[in-house]
Structure 1
Amino acid sequence: MYIFKDYYRNKVRLSFDDHPFSKSPKHVWIICRHEDKWLLTKHKERGLEFPGGKVEPGEQAEQAAIREIMEETGGVVENIAYIGQYLVEGKAGVVIKNVYYAEILNLLHQDTYFETEGPVLLAQIPSNVKINKGYSFIMKDDVLTHSMNYIKKEMRFMESKS
């Protein structure tokens, strides 16, 4: 378990265990790859971020993750995996999010990308993301750092098994 403060100085607890805070979280965040690049979206107000959002009534968190990727980027999911969950103790209450890693098969052009301006592909996430004004607050805390490290470690493990 990792404990740290987010961009707004709220306490965050992050775990890569199986749903340690809730079996039915209300939010999802998905770290995406497409054609060896990171797939982000440009939120109209917050800036660049990985896709994510709320779980709708009657929807499972993984279904919400797949839907959010499509809505915000036009991405068609090839593979998706739960990697962790985090809990934010904010001033307005507690938020629990599942974190997923998704590999995207292709990107479909859409007439709308809802609250975003659509897909953005990056060869790498910049090392200065925490202070870069072009990136959303969601990208500026250690959820991103620890999740990226977890993904890299797990990918090396999977590649060594094949």
Structure 2
Amino acid sequence: MFTYKDTLQNDVTIYFEKQNDEADDVLIIPRLPEGWLFTEHKIRGLEFPGGKGEKGETNSEAAKRELMEETGATAEELLFVADYLVVSSERTFSKRVYATKVRKLEIQADYLETSGPVILRGELSRFIQQPAFSFFMRDEGMVQIVQRAERILSNKN
């Protein structure tokens, strides 16, 4: 377990074991052979794909759908990384984080609220702190999540 205040001063708790059957939102950390796959949100900047599940959708279904919608990628096996809880005066929510290797990447006609996929090479935990990344990608909790995702995916080789 890891607790901290994010950049918006919300209380955040990260759990490295599943907390509930399903979380409110999902986040996917995708890996291609040539690098890490991000999406470029039109307002926030570079970030991992993710979002809210639709009615009746499981977290894994939501993760696969969000990954496809925002990047055009198809996931291999979804690997649990963490659950986290954000307590905010505006919205308290839980998020399930998965890591996956990408099976294929296809160009989409529309990437919805994003400008589509961005592939970056290198050690993930070193470059997510850069200003081009979304503010929530740069918080100390994301560093913990990213390091765990790197270990999980490297163990799947």
- The equivalent residue for 1:116 is 114
- The equivalent residue for 1:101 is 99
Query: Percentage identity across aligned positions?
Result: 36
Segments of structure 1 that go 5 or more residues without pairing to the other structure are none
Q: Do the aligned partners of 1:33 and 1:104 also contact (CA within 8 Å) in 2?
A: yes
Q: Any residues of structure 2 matched to 1:1-162 within 5 Å, and which? A: 1-18=1-18, 20=19, 22-124=20-122, 125=124, 127=126, 129-130=128-129, 132-155=130-153, 157-158=155-156
- Tell me which amino acid in the other structure corresponds to 2:3: I
In 1, distance between residues paired with 2:106 and 2:26? 21
Deviations 1:9-35 (A, max 9, x none): 2110001112x2x32211000111012
RMSD: 1.7
Tell which deviates more after alignment, 119-128 or 62-71: 119-128
- Tell me which amino acid in the other structure corresponds to 1:127: R
1:37 Cα deviation after fit: 0.6
- Tell me which amino acid in the other structure corresponds to 1:29: L
1:114 Cα deviation after fit: 0.5
Segments of structure 2 that go 5 or more residues without pairing to the other structure are none
Deviations 1:74-112 (A, max 9, x none): 001122112210000112131100000011011111110
In 2, distance between residues paired with 1:143 and 1:71? 25
Q: Normalising by the residue count of structure 1, what TM-score does the alignment of the two structures yield?
A: 0.88
In 1, distance between residues paired with 2:56 and 2:125? 37
Q: Do the aligned partners of 1:51 and 1:68 also contact (CA within 8 Å) in 2?
A: yes
1:126 Cα deviation after fit: 6.8
Tell which deviates more after alignment, 69-78 or 132-141: 132-141
1:36 Cα deviation after fit: 3.7
Number of residue-to-residue matches in the alignment: 156
- Tell me which amino acid in the other structure corresponds to 1:8: L
- Tell me which amino acid in the other structure corresponds to 1:4: Y
Tell which deviates more after alignment, 72-81 or 147-156: 147-156
Q: Normalising by the residue count of structure 2, what TM-score does the alignment of the two structures yield?
A: 0.91
Find runs of 4+ consecutive structure 1 residues off by over 2 angstroms.
124-130, 151-159
